[in-house]
Amino acid sequence: MSERVVPEGSRQRRRPTKRGAVLSEQLIVDTALRLVAQHGAEALSVRRLGAALGADPSALYRYFRNTDALLLAIADELIGKAQDGWTATGDWRSDLRSMGLRIHACYLSHPQAAVLGAYRTTGRLHETRAVERILGILRTAGFPDALAVRIYHAFVDQALAFAAQDAAALSLPPAAREKDAAVWHAVYGKLPADTHPHIAATFPLLAADMRDSGYPFALDLMLSAVEALRTRAGGGS
């Protein structure tokens, strides 16, 4: 069997579907994002996507080898959205900080899609750009290569992991989400001090703190530690 997928660049014969849609990689990814935004991650199937596009489901296999390839394309689109309009200030700490918060915020604004792609390596355009930028921030700041790489890895994984985690919680079915939230008061608020003294002693603080994401504080902790490493490693400024 010869390859079914034709790379987007060398595509020339575009033929409308029965229902008049003219397909393209971009149209498919956009439609998929819209589908997920409107009906949740579980609404994303080849069959439904085909229906939303006005095409036979199997037509998608002319554009993506399988659903996994499609997922990667969607994930990369998200990474791109997160970086749109970002510019470096030259201060490594605030640059990393803004980059991290942007990734987190962007993924949270497309929670269902984030869940699907946050742990993938796409190797696509937007991803390589992000990698290059973050590595650039660190190396320009004077971190030696080996250290810059380790920090890059920890930083990126942390941003994506928190983003995926918070996105996943956001995209639970409303019933399950409310029930999970209620557990804090229903269970933790009622634990007796003799069996759970530390929870009992801090409960109001705990319940308040757990309502928001732990990411911003975790990010600042990481950046502080990195700053300490930098001065010790002999950086200046």
Partner DNA sequence: TTTACACGTCAATGGCGTTGACGTAAGGTC
Partner DNA sequence: GACCTTACGTCAACGCCATTGACGTGTAAA
Question: Which residues of this chain interact with DNA, rule CB under 7 A?
Answer: 1-2, 6, 11-19, 23, 44-48, 55-59, 61-63, 66-68
Round to whole Å and give the CA distance between 25 and 13. 14
Among residues 7, 14, 194, 205, which is the contact residue for a copy of itself, using CB under 8 A?
205
Site size for a copy of itself (CB under 8 A): 68
Round to whole Å and give the CA distance between 167 and 112. 7
Contact between 164 and a copy of itself by CB under 8 A: the answer reads yes
CA proximity to 44, closest of 14, 82, 80, 75: 75
Residue found under tokens 């993938």: 120
Minimum distance between the CB of residue 150 and a copy of itself, rounded to whole angstroms?
Answer: 6
Pick from a copy of itself, DNA, none: which does 8 bind, CB < 5 to 8 A by kind?
none
Minimum distance between the CB of residue 25 and DNA, rounded to whole angstroms?
Answer: 11
Residue found under tokens 């400024």: 237
Between the alpha carbon of residue 75 and those of residues 58, 98, 123, the distances in Å are: 22, 20, 11
Contact between 209 and a copy of itself by CB under 8 A: the answer reads yes
- When the beta carbons of 16 and 144 are compared against a copy of itself, the nearer one is 144
Contact between 154 and a copy of itself by CB under 8 A: the answer reads yes
Among residues 47, 62, 90, 214, which is the contact residue for a copy of itself, using CB under 8 A?
214
Pick from DNA, a copy of itself, none: which does 211 bind, CB < 5 to 8 A by kind?
none
Looking at residue 158, its amino acid is Q
Minimum distance between the CB of residue 31 and a copy of itself, rounded to whole angstroms?
Answer: 22
Q: What is the DSSP string of 47-115?
A: HHHHHHHTS-GGGGGGT-SSHHHHHHHHHHHHHHHHHTT----S-HHHHHHHHHHHHHHHHHTSHHHHH
Q: What element of type H or E holds 176? A: helix 174-186
Minimum distance between the CB of residue 204 and a copy of itself, rounded to whole angstroms?
Answer: 10
Cα distance from N-terminal residue to C-terminal residue, the chain: 61
CA proximity to 107, closest of 72, 86, 87, 79: 79
Contacts of 72 (CB under 8 A, 6+ apart): 117, 120, 122, 124
Q: From 10-18, 33-41, 92-100, 192-200, give the range in contact with a copy of itself by CB under 8 A.
A: 192-200
- When the beta carbons of 22 and 186 are compared against a copy of itself, the nearer one is 186
> Which residues bind to a copy of itself, rule: CB under 8 A?
68, 118-123, 128, 131-132, 135-136, 139, 145-146, 148-150, 152-154, 156-158, 160-162, 164-166, 168-169, 172-173, 175-176, 179-181, 183-184, 186-188, 191, 196-199, 201-202, 205-206, 209-210, 213-215, 217-218, 220-222, 224-226, 228-229
